[in-house]
Structure 1
């Protein structure tokens, strides 16, 4: 038997907005938790907790607790950055990761929060996060861990924040879009970023290659992996003679 739902005259007269509970559905956050874990079959609960612990630890050392002394101090930068890292780690959307954390008291305990932030709070934090802080956190991880990178990979990828479609760009005569290009050098085994550089506009990958190779020389790699964009004689010479690699 379905119980009747009563609304106050004032509320009903203005707007009668129903939610899932009005239709006897269970909490959607529980379903979100299951879907995230099912989507990432290799993701184990204890592995995720360990990831959260480490992320929070490194962020706590590298950046300040709050971005401004006059902010409301509702959420620390440590918690916001860790939530952002969990989002990327679990391959979730902003809405999904907030729903995911909302039903986990354990994660909230590790994040030192009682109330989960709105997903737009995470988006705004990511937007204003300086690349310098990301670099400092990455450098801290490399410093505190003894890394022996046998195989190192180089690659570059461009991205833009312009969401205009091709037709709109054509009629506006802006078919050639400016974009940011990110060049990464990673350890293939641990997937740690050993060196990265960001450039504006279209540039050849070879301009990034030599500085990157000289930065990773200290890791004494045996092999360097890259695509055809890096297949030039000067780069090969730098790999063979300076790094003593193949």
Structure 2
């Protein structure tokens, strides 16, 4: 299992640095400018990290002035400010960009500037896909078991809806590369397409491993022929007979399956365990969209906790790694002296970045063809 940080201050520092790379400084030029959007994002990450509610994290910040000083907060935000920021900052498109920044930070070379470096796509050797469910209430398993179906019997199974999160994880470092949040129960076989659409653009997997829940010929075609990713999915979905599958790629899985590489699929199970161990198996949100945003925020916070130990790889810096995440105020301005409201243009894209752009174009083409 990857090492994760248990320090709220260090995780908040990572969140503040990622937020400054992704988010504009303020939501509007005529806003009150009490808090910057990266500061509010860091508070939301801290709330998820401490498993707190909005009022609880506000009380925690009031009692912890050192943490407010680290985030350069002039005052503690009201809990309704955080609730409105959560709705605005945790959209799917921004979640993808934040995941992309965590991947870029982990693979960043020592001589790369944090302020001006473009998103350079990284070749991921092996990635794994899977999904997991989150409970929607806080009822204990003991209570569910003791709730009798009839006198003298235990209720061992409950049939109800739950929140479902699909992830694509890097098998080398347990970073989450993409998410797809929805509601369950529902099968996984039709979830691979939106899951690949939710991946960060700077991660290019060479192989993708998934269990039999994703087994279908269209999924193999999507990965191998459109995205140029080697798929490894056992052809055992449903009730397989003694006959070999008729599809080209499912036939290949049945006759020349790589069991040794497939053994790395358990890495994504480790990621699921880490998510539930750190943040719990139940969600606190009550509405569909807020549940989706909460699951996506857990994925981003998970990556930030892993990134805390990335400083071990950057000893070429003369200053600690985390100090580069606290960008000075002058670093947020362009050479003309104007305030930076958006990310700087990225003209110098590498060949790998072009490959990532091609994946997005192929995915769009596949979506059009499937309609």
* 1:229 match: 213
- Structure with larger RCO (C-alpha < 8 A, sep 6+): 2
TM-score (norm 2): 0.41
* 2:100 match: 139
Going from structure 1 to structure 2, the CA distance change for 1:213 and 1:123 (only over 3 Å counts) comes to: closer
CA shift at 1:136, angstroms?
1.5
Matched, 1:243 2:230: yes
* 1:119 match: 79
On the 8 A contact 2:15/2:42 being kept in 1, the answer is yes
Please give the residue correspondences for 1:167-246 in structure 2 after superposition, counting only pairs within 5 Å.
183-187=166-170, 190-197=173-180, 204-209=187-192, 212=195, 218-221=204-207, 224-226=209-211, 229-232=213-216, 235=219, 242-243=229-230, 245=232, 246=262
Distance in 2 between residues matched to 1:111 and 1:86, nearest whole Å: 11
Q: Which has the larger radius of gyration?
A: 1
Distance in 2 between residues matched to 1:189 and 1:91, nearest whole Å: 27
Distance in 1 between residues matched to 2:99 and 2:196, nearest whole Å: 18
Deviates more, 1:49-58 or 1:144-153: 144-153
SS across alignment from 2:128: strand
Going from structure 1 to structure 2, the CA distance change for 1:65 and 1:159 (only over 3 Å counts) comes to: farther
CA shift at 1:182, angstroms?
5.2
On the 8 A contact 1:153/1:187 being kept in 2, the answer is no
On the 8 A contact 1:158/1:180 being kept in 2, the answer is yes
CA shift at 1:120, angstroms?
1.8
Unaligned runs of 5+ in 2: 108-121, 137-160, 233-261, 263-371
SS across alignment from 1:206: coil
* 2:151 match: none
Distance in 1 between residues matched to 2:75 and 2:98, nearest whole Å: 26
TM-score (norm 1): 0.59
Distance in 2 between residues matched to 1:180 and 1:69, nearest whole Å: 37
Question: How many residues are aligned here?
Answer: 185
SS across alignment from 1:153: strand
Matched, 1:155 2:125: no
Please give the residue correspondences for 1:8-87 in structure 2 after superposition, counting only pairs within 5 Å.
44=6, 47-87=7-47
